[in-house]
Structure 1
Amino acid sequence: MISKKWTRAWCCVFLCIVCSASCGVKPVYASKSSQTVQSVQTAKNTRTKRPVKPAKTEKNPKLTNIKQGPDRISADAAVLMDVETGDVLFGKQADKRRPPASTTKIMTAILGLELGSSDEVVTVSQKAANVGEATLHLDPGEKINLYELITGALVKSGNDACVAIAEHIAGSEEQFVQLMNSKALALGAQNTHFGNTNGLPLKDHYSTAYDLALMARHGLSIPQFASITRQKETEIHFLEPDSLMDLRNTNKLLWNYPYADGVKTGTTTAAGKCLVASATKQGRQLLVVVLNAPDRFGDAKKLLEWGFENTETVHLGNAGQTIAEFPGSKDHISAYIEAPVEISIPKAEHLKLQTRIVWEKTGDLPIKAGERLGRWEVWLGEQKLDSVPLLSERDVVKNRSLISFFPFGK
């Protein structure tokens, strides 16, 4: 049984890494044309929520080191991110490696939900029951559903629950930690290394504010994760012995800030007070990470309020929207974008937003419907924020007398 789960786990992580690599845009450096955005519309907050897009892999120093923000925050490191777009709106030592404490449990919960089934029954081992510090006070031999354990790990911050989850999914905590590191890398968290499942002090166990934001953003795209982390109070049910345990969330921001809806606290002597928190206001969700923050809840509230007040999401294009006509041919080939394009920026920077078209293909025929012709770049002043492929709307064959027209993917 364990062997089967272990194989399934590695397959899932392998596929995630492959998919992550395939999302990158191949760089082409010859710029042949550009255009200024004539009009941009602020994204409506009432839009239907789409699946979370992959985080941008290109570094954006202008945004990650942005000077604007609250006057003072106590955190040693911090990040403010738009959950839908993945854009970083504020950063303070965003890539500084620090102990993440119990924010580690974000990744443990993600893998528990992705690699296991909620109703799987977990039997608590002696090793899991022996884990100290913040715990659910698990006893050896107790039986409980996996979902209940994940809830205990996220809401009550149970260290013992994390070990029980790991052993159930991968056979041992050590093997599960390997999965955690692979998953982190697949999500773009390049400055993270986990040594355990719960964040208890360990020399080679670290992350960054930016990496934790990436992981939490992915977690929030999982409905069960989002549902668990927004709960102020809940209870979990043990199967053997048949009993209930009341839980109260360690994230006080859920009580102190009306828009808060997640995610996880963390505290150790080495890490200081840490918090990963999300909030949704008028349909827009922001995510904040503060590490080694004496006033973590105050810092989080300041950053979230600043983000809602001073930044916006700009909607630039819809999926399937025609952007331009390919200039390399006389056959009037329209080029479109496959996915919506949205950018989160400071409101004061709105007028600096531009788009540029870079054609990558020559005019040689044939051209297939859906073939990449170039890319559509989004710039804020002198800084490139995003780049999306421009695709051909139709087939064009070599012999013009035999040109065929085939709408693509409509």
Structure 2
Amino acid sequence: MNSFTKRGRQCFAALLAAGLLWAFPSLAQGAEPGVSAECAVLISGETGTVLYEKNAYERHAMASTTKIMTALLALEESARAGDPVVDITEEMVAVEGSSMGLQAGNRLRLSELTAGMMLASGNDAANACALFLSGSQEGFGALMNERAGEIGMKDTHFVTPSGLDDEAHFSTAYDMALLTKTALENQDFEDIVKCFTRQVEFLDPAGTVSYTNHNKLLQLYEGCIGVKTGFTKKAGRCLVSAARREGATLIAVTLNAPDDWDDHTALLDYGFSMMQSVAFDGAQVTARVPLAGGSLDSVQVQGAAGEIRSLPAVDAERIERRVLLPKFLYAPVRAGDKVGQVQYFAGGKEIYSLPVVAAESVPAAEKKEPGFWQRLFHWDWA
């Protein structure tokens, strides 16, 4: 299903001409904010479009916001391996700085360890994740950098799983925003970082421990869904936040920001002031697709109904829609079968999609009994 049918292209053009893809301002656009941060960026969580930047591509220490990458790798492994149990060792807890209170002999699942790490900003938990997943900090650093390359973090190099200072450990505000955009696509990650308090279950000794998130924006800012605080003397106050309103997600990053809570409030307010409402609707997409072996020679198909989402105005104004349909289908086809897709792109990136489904059922053609001459020439004379 990688080509348009002629009918699909005609339908697509007609829909655009009819103005069924529309946008209107949802908020009055605000003035660009001033921030205290040395480095800052604000991006759309859907498209990655940069809405604000200040030294966003300048390399800088990022402190415990590093744990976003550690958590992402841990949760990806947890999903692959069935959430394995981690046995905490002396080596794992032999690390300075903030802690979730782990002790050698503790046992807990990898997802629970990750939750404690993100809420309590536990360096012990980050070290435990690294040693469990790779056997050494060096090995885990290699994993972090490999994943960073996949995400497109071009100005980042990880050394420590926790964010403790190291000359070779650095990132940029923009790269950290890209990392967070990817991490928030993992539902387990979002479920953890949006919690202000969470009970973490220990298997040994059996019980639960309650942790409170260091991210005050979860209570201070409407729609906040995370993400991570950080501080070292070298990095200063670092903060990555995300907020969602009317289906739109914004991600803000500040590095070395004395007034980070106010910075993020101003950045997110500015971003939401730039939103426009966009109608994603494939219901008007109709076509007939040729059908092989059916009681009819074609089948009626239709795009599914969509919804209204908010996007940055710059993205809303450049949306492209593509209708993907197969050249033909094989019978039988049942009403509701997915047969294609309506895709929406902004800046070359897919931001939304809807299925195209069969609008009717068409059974396979009935087999006819062979006639006299067909039987004669297919007679077995042996």
Cα separation, partners in 2 of 1:257 and 1:203, compared to 1, 3 Å = same
Distance 1:240 1:308 in 2: 45
2:134 to 156, 170, 175: 170
Matching of residue 285 in structure 1 with residue 257 in structure 2: no
- Asked whether the equivalents of residues 37 and 260 of structure 2 are also in contact (C-alpha less than 8 Å), the reply is yes
Secondary structure in structure 2 of the residue aligned to 1:169: helix
What's the offset of the Cα at 1:95? Answer: 0.8
Q: Distance in 1 between matches of 2:249 and 2:167?
A: 34
Higher normalized contact order (CA 8 Å, seq sep 6+, divided by chain length): 2
After TM superposition, the structure 1 = structure 2 runs for residues 73-88 of structure 1, keeping only pairs within 5 Å, are: 73-88=35-50
TM-aligned CA deviation for residue 377 of structure 1: 12
Contact 1:314/1:345 (CA < 8 Å) preserved in 2? no
Q: How many residues align?
A: 301
> Secondary structure, in 3 states, of the residue corresponding to 1:235?
strand
Number of the residue aligned with 1:42: 23
1:111 alignment counterpart: 73
Moved more, 134-143 or 203-212: 134-143
1:257 aligns with 2:238: no
3-state secondary structure, aligned to 1:200: coil
RMSD of aligned alpha carbons:
3.8
- Native 8 Å contact 1:180 1:194 kept in 2: yes
**Conserved? CA contact 1:262–1:277, under 8 Å:** yes
Write the mapping of 1:238-253 to structure 2, written as runs, cut at 5 A. Answer: 238-253=202-217
Q: Is the 8 A contact 1:154 1:229 kept in 2?
A: yes
TM-score, length-scaled by structure 2: 0.69
State whether residues 33 and 267 of structure 2, in contact with CA within 8 Å, keep that contact through their aligned partners in structure 1: no
- SS at structure 2 position matched to 1:286: strand
Structure 1-normalised TM-score?
0.64
Change in 2 beyond 3 A, CA 1:387/1:70: closer
1:159 aligned residue: 123
- 5+ long unaligned stretches in structure 2: 1-15, 287-305, 329-342, 351-382
The secondary structure found in structure 2 opposite 1:250 is coil
Where does 1:223-234 land on structure 2 (aligned, <5 Å)?
Answer: 223-234=187-198
SS of 1:237's equivalent in the other structure is strand
CA distance in 2, matches of 1:135, 1:224: 22
Instruction: Tell me which residue corresponds to 2:64.
Output: 102
3-state SS, counterpart of residue 348 of structure 2: strand
Q: Is the 8 A contact 1:184 1:192 kept in 2?
A: yes
Q: Structure 1 residues 355, 343: closer, same or farther in 2, change over 3 A?
A: farther
Sequence identity percentage: 36
Residue 227 of structure 1, CA deviation = 0.5
Equivalent residues in 2 for 1:10-409 (5 A)?
Answer: 39=19, 40-42=21-23, 69-116=31-78, 117=81, 119-312=83-276, 314=278, 344-346=311-313, 353=318, 369=327, 385-386=347-348
Residue segments in structure 1 that go unaligned for 5+ positions in a row: 1-36, 46-67, 323-339, 358-367, 371-375, 380-384, 389-410
Check 1:387–1:195 CA distance in 2 against 1; reply closer, same or farther (3 A cut).
Answer: closer
Assess if the C-alpha contact under 8 Å between 1:42 and 1:315 holds in 2.
yes
Instruction: Write out per-residue CA displacement over residues 62-100 of structure 1, whole angstroms, 9 at most, x where no aligned residue.
Output: xxxxxx853311111111111122222212111111101
What is the CA–CA distance in structure 2 between the aligned matches of 1:232 and 1:283, rounded to whole Å? 21
Q: Which has the larger radius of gyration?
A: 2
Q: In structure 2, the residue corresponding to 1:267 is in which secondary structure?
A: strand
Amino acid at match of 2:65: T
